[in-house]
A and B are shown apart, each in its own frame.
Chain A
Amino acid sequence: MQTIFEKSVTGRSACQIQKPMSEETELKEFRLTLDLPELSELDIVRHYTALSKRAFGVDDGFYPLGSCTMKYNPKINELACNLEGFTQSHPLDETENMQGTLEVIYSTQEYLKEVTGFTGLTLEPTAGAHGELTALMMIKAYHLDRNDTKRKKILIPDSAHGTNPASAAMCGFECIEIPSDKDGYVDLAKLSELVNDETAGLMLTIPNTVGLFDKNILEISKILHEKGALLYMDGANLNAILGIVKPAEMGVDLMHINLHKTFSTPHGGGGPGGGFVGCVKDLEAYLPAQRVVKDGDNFKLDSNFPKSIGRVRAFFSNFGVIVRAYTYMLSLGKEGTQRIGRYATLNANYIRVKLSQYYNLPHKVNCMHEVVFNDEVQAQYGVSTMDIAKRLLDFKYHPPTIYFPLIVHGALMIEPTETESKQTMDEFIDVMIQIAHEAKASPQMLHDAPHTTVVKRVDAVKAARNPVIVCNMCCS
């Protein structure tokens, strides 16, 4: 499909700009050229409508992308964040004029306090990785504040998301990898051996990326705390345990949450997201400084926290995302909240059981919100996880997360979420079984998949070798 730049027609226009009130200017220099396209409004509407039809979202079909919690995004949430009271709220206005904005932030925090069990919290981070970074900055500040200057190491399981070590590196920490044991859990003996007075903390994803709840969680937190290290929980997978356990009660010291996963704000083709960090009392002093507090019936801002790490984001973060999450929380209430982790887990286990005769299941126990298979069975016919994923596209499914976690060779990580019906999953299961048969009967057909998409398999190597990252077509 042509780019918008190629469709430009000199002299065409989609907008009318008013005349200035005066022709006077003080500027001495202006830009001479501006190579942007010239189109009519209808040109633009057709172009981006056509592009949208070459995209695929949860609204289009089942999206079992593991670790991404692609649940349904209720439309009332969109209506809510687009209410004029919110969209027109200016972040540098006086707090007395933005009581609605502050109330949403405060109430969202109160909800999250209850479901996580933490007393301290911030909604300033903009996304999950931003939350991780915020939490690690707090860990660093905590140890330094206690003159504990030796703690420069962060322990990270080999099953972790790549954002964990990347976030730790941004805080100057040295990353030490902890191996998983054969069952996919943290190797306790190795952990005890590696934790010492140089350990700042452990970054633990709960449930982990293999979809398992680490049954040794209390032991893990004990090992860390005895040596003065902190337990940080990556809450990317909170969906599994919402309504089941409170992270603060597991010995977790601080955690992040992705509002765009558990609390159903849309992913938008990569963002915007929403982050949250919760922490225990001992770490509250280090939270980002601008905090929304309740004063009688009013809300105000308090920034007087001298030990705070400071701001991680200007203004009120991705406020529109917070409104969506809060609206979702209002609809859920206590009953809905209790059901999320349960039904997310029920759905994943249903797929686990139904597919386990056809695909290899490295960890043969009850899973949480997601189940990880691999391509061991299909590999004997020369068919890989990539082939299976690409074949799923022909059936109008978004494939699961593939080749992650790294500790499972050829991983296929399936996360259905609680908003998918049995019927949807049955259809998906049937297709997965059909693909398992195809792998045996006609492997070449799978190597050539997808067959029905607007483009065939895309050459990523070529793109990286000779990067073309902008269109070089002039508009005039």
Chain B
Amino acid sequence: MPYIPHTQKETEEMLKAIGVSKIEDLFDAVPSNLLQKGYYNLPEGLNEQKTKEKISKIAKKNKNAEMNFLGGGMYNHYIPAHVPYLAGRGEFYTAYTPYQPEISQGILQSIFEYQTMITRLTSMDATNASMYDGSSATAEVCLMTASITGRKKVLVGRNVNPQYREVMNTYCKAKDLEIKEIPFDMGSGEIDQEKLRQLMDENTAGVFVQSPNFFGVVEDMKEISSKVKAKGAISVQIVTEALSLGLLVPPGENGVDIVVGEGQSFGLDVSAGGPGFGFLATKEQYMRKLPGRIVGQSEDSDGKKAYVLTLQAREQHIRREKATSNICSNQALCAVRGLIYLATLGKKLKDLAMLNHKNALYFQKLLNGKKVSRLFSSSFFNEFVVTVDNASEILKKLRKNSIAGGINLEKFYPEFKDKILICVTEMIDKQAMEKYLGSL
């Protein structure tokens, strides 16, 4: 029997020690009419070989493209071989939350290093040990801004990832917060700042702007943040393509109060959406409003440097209904993987981000030469929107050549007929671009 090591003899010895004749006797508290008789209606268990054959067969049913121009919140980047290798060490991946610091210094220090990486990338002061993902972390920040300001309304750009907006809606509805969308400018692709000004009032807790936004366009976070803060609201920047942090002016320098996003680009597979990790960083004054675990540096009883979970008075296991959040599990292992990725890229993260940006712009210009025009005028990072003659037909044609040509935006914006969101990462080479152009 898989993974249950008891021999018949051992089971009998144990039953004897306990003083019962069969295992079922231990369930005397369960009402007898509830006890299941016999096996469940499930298939026979498979041995490891058959398990592998079966799951491999299912994996092969996915018809993933060889050349992938899909982004929209999950990005296909190269993962150096040692990144999953190190994060896959059993001491890391089979551990629990580091409640016992004396035997968990390795995880605690790794998370401490992760926290340092995130604050440096974002130019913020404080962060936590990771969140589930970008979308749920953003939704948690809705509650965080309401808690900080005592206000009950949240504004979010309509050019924020549509699935993120759905999650925000769900959380806001549960907490009885009002949520309103800020329109975007059809020419630039950026938030309509005049509309933002009109929508903000004395009940606005937080303003959520994604940059680079869902269309890949870089927002003027400096200007937006200053407008938002003038109204006493919290300026929140969402980042779904974390790689952009390597190149663009960091949120902290633009006056952003809270930055929240998805770290999947840092060494994690697309994997249908997860596991990646959510990150959340803020200014020092909001540190105690952060949800989730935080690792701090301290000393042991000999005065030696040591790490430990800290500021736990915010958390559910201490504060119960008064906690900043209910989050307990996070994505620690994914954060460690992100950390190892960032340690690998180091200062060259900027070069990789630049490569993404320049190659994306290069491909956009190539498309322009084929009379496929770009929709928005403002600068983009590594994604852009183009207008084509017949989006679904073109995407189908590309797919026949094993090219995932982009995301048909009509799914998310009914008014956007025949618009495709195209993402170019370092995984796209010239050959792929040529093949794309040739299939048009």
Is the CB–CB distance between B40 and A317 below 8 Å?
no
Min C-beta distance of A437 to chain B, whole Å? 21
Residues of A52-109 at the interface with B, using a CB-CB cut-off of 8 Å, are 52-60, 63, 65, 68, 70-74, 76, 78-94, 96-101, 103-104
Contact-size category for B: 35 or more
Within 8 A of B (CB), among A370-413: 389-390, 393, 398-399, 401, 404
CB atoms of B29 and A213 under 8 A apart: yes
Annotate A34-61 by CB proximity to B: 1 below 8 A, 0 otherwise.
1111110100110111111111111110
Alpha-carbon separation in the docked complex, A346 to B338 (Å): 40
Given contacts A312-B167, A318-B274, A327-B51, A27 and B326 within 8 Å (CB-CB): no
How far, in angstroms, from A161 to B130 measured CA to CA in the complex?
A: 21
Q: Name the residue on A nearest B336 (C-beta).
A: A269
Per-residue interface assignment for chain B, residues 402 to 431, with 1 indicating a CB less than 8 Å from any chain A CB and 0 otherwise: 001001000000000000000000100010
B385 contacts the other chain (Cβ, under 8 Å)? Answer: no
A3 to chain B: closest residue by CB = B113
What 4 pairs between A and B have smallest CB-CB spacing? A315-B273, A333-B45, A268-B333, A85-B59
CB pair B167–A25 under 8 Å, yes or no, is no
Interface string of B289-326 (1 = CB under 8 A from A): 00001111111111010111111110111111111011
A335 touches B274 (CB 8 A): no
Task: Tell which of B80-88, B202-210, B229-237 binds the partner.
Answer: B80-88
Are A398 and B100 also in contact (CB < 8 A) when A21-B359, A114-B41, A273-B329 are? yes
Chain A interface size range: 35 or more
**Interface presence of A246 (CB below 8 A):** yes
Using CB atoms, name the residue of chain A closest to B140: A170
In the assembled complex, A126 has its CB within 8 A of some CB on chain B = yes
- Do B39 and A339 touch across chains, with their CB atoms under 8 A apart? no
CB contact under 8 A between A83 and B295, given known A90-B272, A165-B320, A175-B321: no
Q: Closest Cβ of chain B: how far from A343's Cβ, in Å?
A: 5
Bound CA–CA A90/B404 (angstroms): 10
Given A270-B330, A455-B306: A13 and B346 interface contact (C-beta under 8 Å): yes
Is B70 an interface residue, CB under 8 A from the partner? yes
Identify the closest chain A residue to B326 (Cβ): A166
Give complex CA distance A93, B406 in Å: 9
Collect the chain A residues with CB atoms within 8 Å of residue B388's CB.
none
B373 within 8 A of A: no
Q: Which of A189-197, A223-231, A417-425 contacts B (4 or more CB under 8 A)?
A: A417-425
| B313, chain A: closest CB distance, angstroms | 7
The CA-CA distance from A68 to B317 in the complex, in Å, is: 14
Question: B274 to A88, Cβ gap below 8 A?
Answer: no
One digit per residue, 1 when the CB lies within 8 angstroms of any chain A CB and 0 when it does not, for chain B 9-40 equals 01101110111100111111111001110011
Q: Give, as a whole number of angstroms, the nearest-CB distance from B207 to chain A.
A: 20
Distance between A35 CB and nearest chain B CB, rounded to angstroms: 5
B2 closest partner in A (C-beta): A331
A453 to B105, CA, bound (A): 10
Q: CB-CB < 8 A to A25: which residues of B?
A: 354, 357-358, 361
Report if A59-B90 is in contact (Cβ < 8 Å); known contacts: A163-B326, A345-B23, A422-B10: yes
A162–B316 CB distance below 8 A: yes
Does B74 reach chain A (CB closer than 8 Å)? yes
Contact A366 B102 (CB under 8 A): no
Which has the most chain B C-beta neighbours within 10 Å: A65, A214, A310, A454? A310
A313 x B269 contact (CB < 8 A): no
Asked if A171 contacts B297 (CB within 8 A), the reply is no
Task: Tell whether A350 is near chain B: CB-to-CB under 8 Å.
Answer: yes
Bound complex: CA A264 to CA B320 (Å): 27
* A330 interface residue (CB < 8 Å to B): yes
Q: What is the CB-to-nearest-CB distance from A49 to chain B, in angstroms, rounded to a whole number?
A: 7
